[in-house]
Structures are given as structure tokens and as C-alpha cells.
Amino acid sequence: MEATKVASNLITLKMDMAFDMPEFYVGGNYDVSGLALLLFPIYGRGPFTVRVGGLKIEGGGQMAVNLAGELSLKALDFNVSLTEIHAQFEGLLGGDLGDVIIEIVNSLALDVFNAVWRILRETLMSTLLTFVNAQLEVIASSYQNDSVH
């Protein structure tokens, strides 16, 4: 992953960043047996690969400092985009039907990713904001405890 933009303003405590990853692969072995959508049998085992292309993460955040000097994250916003998702599952459904299913999955993968991202984005931003602020509190507390001793 390459950082293509890192900009910060120490006066406003704002930071903007962008990262690009042209391509990455995930692979391994799968073993599945069950029903898809509680109706269609799905089975297979063997190697799989998923190639993701054009991953971009862009966004930034706004920090705040209170009168006691405690740092917190006031705002966080980023977007994730992809240009390609391609999966291959050898042996899925035993042959030709599996190949057709994989073609359908590959043709819908980006649309599904974008739809899920739109649904989860707000919740993810809120959760990350809460998590980062909790970690900043732990760090501040640790720092205060160390300075007392």
C-alpha cells in the first residue's frame, strides 16, 4: 500500500490522507457444504483466489484539545473504493455450474461491495471514532499515571 497523500495542519489539527493499493490477492483452500439462501445446495472444496484491484482509501480527521490538554478525535471521514474484484473457486458445484455461478458473482461483486459500503459507512465511522477516542483516553491516563510517579 502506498500513501499518496498525507497533509496535516498543526494549527487546525486536521489531517487528510490517501492510500492506493493497485492490486492484492487473497488465497487459500475452501470446503463448503450447505444451502445458499436456504434453497440452493452449494458444495465444493479446493483452492480459491480473490484478486482485488484499484483499492483507494481517502479521507481524514479533525482532532481537538480541551483545556486540560487532552486530545480527542472530533471528526473522522473516509471513503473506500475498488475498481475490480475477481474470485476463482476451483471445484465449486463440481464443474460447469460452479463456473457460471462464479461468473455471476464476479459480475456483481463491485456493485455488492459498493452497496454494503454505503450501508455500513456511517456505522463504521462512528465506531472508529469511539474506538480511537477510547484509546486516546487510555494513553492519556497512562501518561498521567506515569507523570505522578
- pLDDT band at 14; cut points 50, 70, 90: very high
Q: Is the domain defined by 2-148 classed in CATH 3.15.10?
A: yes
Q: Is the dihedral of CA 83, 89, 95, 101 positive or negative?
A: negative
| Residues 55-104: tens digit of each pLDDT | 999 999 999 988 888 888 899 999 999 999 999 999 888 878 888 989 99
7 closest CA partner among 80, 58, 56: 58
Start-to-end CA span in the chain (Å)? 41
Measured CA to CA, the distance from residue 89 to residue 106 in angstroms comes to 11
- Farthest-apart Cα atoms in the chain, separation: 70
pLDDT computed for residue 38 by the predictor = 80
- pLDDT band at 39; cut points 50, 70, 90: confident
Entry pTM: 0.73
| Mean pLDDT estimate for the chain | 90
pLDDT computed for residue 146 by the predictor = 65
